[in-house]
Amino acid sequence: MRAFSGHLPPEQLLTLWDLILAYDSLEIIPLLAAAIVVFRKDNLMKVSTLQNMEAVLADLSSISVIPLIQMALIRE
């Protein structure tokens, strides 16, 4: 299991693993994945090919784990 290793910056990856250990659950991983898709939805809706979609989702260097998890859990 890679769980975003190689995709997230090291600090954010460690934050993700801290959450996994704190909650003693891997359910954080799909929650973060869904939050990333929601976060990038505007760009995803503009693409028309699989390659462009992969490009939109490939760069996670600007992703902050905690705000995205909070966004996913506290939706209005």
pLDDT tens profile 19-69: 999 999 999 999 999 999 999 999 999 999 999 999 999 889 899 999 999
Asked whether residue 42 is assigned to any structural domain, the reply reads yes
Number of other CB atoms surrounding residue 8 within 10 Å: 20
The residue segments making up the domain with residue 66 are 24-73
Report which of 69, 47, 60, 75 is spatially closest to residue 5, judged by C-alpha positions. 60
pLDDT band at 1 (very low <50, low <70, confident <90, very high): low
Give the pair of three-digit tokens for residue 58: 């490939």
- Give a yes or no: residue 60 inside a domain: yes
* 6 falls within a domain: no
How many structural domains is the chain composed of?
A: 1
In contact, 73 and 19? CB cutoff 8 Å = no
Amino acid at 2: R
pTM of this prediction exceeds 0.85: yes
Residue 75 has pLDDT above 80, yes or no: no
Give residue 76's pLDDT. Answer: 66
